[in-house]
Chain A
Amino acid sequence: DGGITQSPKYLFRKEGQNVTLSCEQNLNHDAMYWYRQDPGQGLRLIYYSQIVNDFQKGDIAEGYSVSREKKESFPLTVTSAQKNPTAFYLCASSIQDSSYEQYFGPGTRLTVT
């Protein structure tokens, strides 16, 4: 089955700890994205990568870091510098063709106390 997997589904951390969210895709898509969703709000772009070993900041990159060492994987680290890390995190990927249609994973809900 082709798709995007995110793990874990729920994640709990203490304040001050870094945490890494996993995103893997087997769709052979070139581009991958990380979004954050807060209650009652749309998605906001954190980071995106259009090719291996390259990534760009989105609208709310402060307090986050990413890597893109493999085409299939785009992990997101939420650092202790992120002031309000509790949120629902969504990963997406797209093929770089004429549509740029994005496909989404199931999400990870992070709670920091």
Chain B
Amino acid sequence: KQEVTQIPAALSVPEGENLVLNCSFTDSAIYNLQWFRQDPGKGLTSLLLIQSSQREQTSGRLNASLDKSSGRSTLYIAASQPGDSATYLCAVSQGGKLIFGQGTELSVKP
């Protein structure tokens, strides 16, 4: 059974730092991997989607990488800002369904 783990569960950094969020999964037979952002009490906003055949995707200050063979993905956030404070969730697609990690709660201090 696919399991998705995100480390760390919470992270606090000063504004301007570059940071990396980690996501690991146990079964490499995935269709794609999505990174989402969730603000408190809100729905999920899709940030990046990486197809299983791709190695990385970039959008603005965000870069996501995928290493299927080792079951890992990272989300790199450059020059963090207080507005980046949120919970970040990764999810792998398998059998037409998404399996989610528990998320990393990020706090960026001014």
Contact = CB atoms under 8 A, between A and B. Distances in A.
Interface stretch (B11-19, B41-49, B59-67, B74-82): B41-49
A98 B51 contact: yes
B93 interface: yes
B110 interface: no
Contacts, number: 59
Contact of A107 (B32, B42, B96): B42
A50 B101 contact: no
A43 interface: yes
A14 to B, nearest CB: 23
B99 to A, nearest CB: 8
B34 A101 contact: yes
A27 to B, nearest CB: 13
Interface string B29-54: 00110101000011111100101000
Interface of A: 4, 6, 31, 33, 40-45, 48, 50, 58, 88, 90, 92, 98-107, 109
Contacts of A104: 36, 43-46
Interface of B: 4, 31-32, 34, 36, 41-46, 49, 51, 89, 91, 93, 96-98, 100-103
26 contacts: A6-B43, A31-B96, A40-B102, A41-B103, A42-B89, A42-B102, A42-B103, A43-B44, A44-B100, A45-B97, A45-B98, A58-B97, A88-B41, A90-B43, A90-B44, A99-B51, A100-B96, A101-B32, A102-B34, A102-B46, A102-B98, A103-B46, A104-B36, A106-B43, A107-B41, A109-B41
B32 A99 contact: yes
